[in-house]
Amino acid sequence: MKDAWWVVAGAVAGAAIQGALEATGALDVKHKAKENFESQMLDQRFKFDYSTAAAGIGLAACAAAFGLERAFPHAADAAALNQRWSFTLLPSVAGIIVGLNQVPLNMFGNIANGASTSVENIVATLTGGVLCKQHVIDSLARAAQLLYIWVGTPLGVFLAMRALGAEYAAPSALQPAWRSFLGGLLMTLGSRVNQACLCGGGISGASHLNYVGFVAAAAFFGGGIATTMAIPQ
């Protein structure tokens, strides 16, 4: 749990640095984000029907996910992490559920899933709009991402663990605080410079057939896997 709080602290610090750089004019990433996103949507770029393409790509992605699960069973990862579950959802099924969360987010708040934006919501609110002023929460709809990430996700995890009778054994060794803080800082700062995080650029981007979203998701996961392999366990 301590690791998680240091990561959160680093993420908030990264968003604050990004907000300060924008306020001074040293960094300008927000104005062209929407235009860039729309120009990178495959249906807009190649003028084809979104529904037909999205259905085909979605089914292909699901098939690939289930195929990878069969090749690399989740049970082996759970055993390595000393996790004990009375019933386990396949990661691919969990991913489908996360993807479907795009529907209420878009319907309720006209906004996509975005974790780094929710951190900017926190910085903007705490500083009264001095930093990250474009993300000040001034309505319930504007708080949709913050509520989804910081309230909905922990609540969903808690309810799922209770319903599935899950027991989680914490890691025997914690990471150094500086490493957890630095990871959170680079995660948020890098996401904002990139104009999107894994949630916004990868999950939400893919749901809008944004080809950069697919590349970003692969880069995020690939970088994470490579880093995990490089760090002594």
Which pLDDT belongs to residue 140?
81
Helix (H, G, I), strand (E, B) or coil at 47: coil
> Hey, which residues does 83 pair with through a beta bridge?
168
Q: What pLDDT, on the 0 to 100 scale, is given for residue 81?
A: 60
Rounded to an integer, what distance in angstroms lies between the CA atom of residue 143 and that of residue 185?
A: 22
The single-letter code of the amino acid at 135 is H
Match 């799922």 to its residue by tokens.
160
Residue 182 CA, distance from chain mean position: 18
Predicted TM-score (pTM) of the model is 0.70
- Alpha-helical (H) ranges within 112-152 are 115-126, 144-147
User: Domain coordinates of the chain in residue numbers?
Assistant: 2-230
Neighbours of 199 (CB within 10 A): 24
Per residue of the chain (233 residues), give pLDDT as tens: 677 888 889 888 988 888 888 888 766 655 455 556 666 777 777 777 877 788 888 888 888 888 887 887 776 666 666 565 555 566 777 788 887 887 787 777 667 677 788 888 889 988 988 888 888 888 887 888 888 888 888 888 888 777 777 666 566 566 788 888 998 898 888 776 766 777 777 777 777 788 877 787 788 888 888 887 787 66
In which residue are the tokens 């708080």 written? 143
Q: Please, what's the largest Cα pairwise distance for the chain?
A: 53
Query: Are the beta carbons of 208 and 54 closer than 8 angstroms?
Result: no
CA atoms within 13 A on the CB side of 86: 8
Chain-centroid distance, C-alpha 62 = 19
